[in-house]
Amino acid sequence: MTYLQRVRALISGSRRLRLVLLLGLMVVLLVLAYLAGSHHFSANVATYRAEREELLATREELDRLRQELVNREVAVQVDSASLETMRQLVADLQAQLARREEDLGLYRSLMDDQDGSPGLQVDSLTLRQAPEADSFHYRIVVRRRADPNESVDVSVSLAIDGLRDGEPVSVPFNEADLSLQEDALSIRFKYFKVLRGTFVLPADFVPAKVVLTVMEKNDPGTLRIVDFPWELSP
């Protein structure tokens, strides 16, 4: 082998060596890049899982807080409703107690007052404003003094006189008290009778007085007609 051939062979071997080294280096770099990428990917996956778990936990806590808020709002509403119901119940009981006391005082005065004109009488008419518009509670006391005292049948009728559109109008009993079927009410009692009810008047009607008529059954001589001014009691 000549000198030139030996040089060429040496150069060719050196090139193959460099190529092998370059290929080896590339393989090493690829392995390192894969390992680095795999580690980075694993780290990202772990971070994603941790963030996802934290997000789920946050959502659960938010849902819990929302439900707690709803429960508290419902509890407040229930407490408020219960308190209002209790207040209304107390107010109703106080009103009933006041009416009982008023009735007791009325009964005592009626039983104690045995003096006066004998026969059938309209003792009193009490009017009070009702909660509903154009509505009024009424109380009529009818009494009878007689000797001997026996139960009697009495007819009670009334009319409310006033103005409507500037013209005189009279509203009969059964139109003012819608619970009545007829314009007169039949009652039976021995000493006295307390009648209660509610008047519902037209919105444009201005009452002025109540004309009350009472009469014992089949006895025109007991007829009594009494006028009461339209005055509301507290």
- 126's CB contacts (< 8 A; 6+ apart) are 138, 139, 233
What pLDDT, on the 0 to 100 scale, is given for residue 198?
96
> In the chain, what is the greatest distance between 2 CA atoms, to the nearest angstrom?
172
Which residue's entry shows tokens 């154009």?
A: 134
What pLDDT, on the 0 to 100 scale, is given for residue 35?
65
Which residue's entry shows tokens 């806590």?
A: 61
Q: What is the pTM for the complete model shown?
A: 0.57
What pLDDT, on the 0 to 100 scale, is given for residue 106?
58
What pLDDT, on the 0 to 100 scale, is given for residue 76?
74
Please, what are the averages of pLDDT over each run of 10 residues along the chain (234 residues)? Answer: 56 63 71 62 62 75 81 75 74 69 61 68 93 94 79 94 95 94 90 92 96 94 95 92
- For β-strands 184-189 and 119-129, DSSP reports them as unpaired
CA angle 12, 15, 16 (to 5 degrees): 90
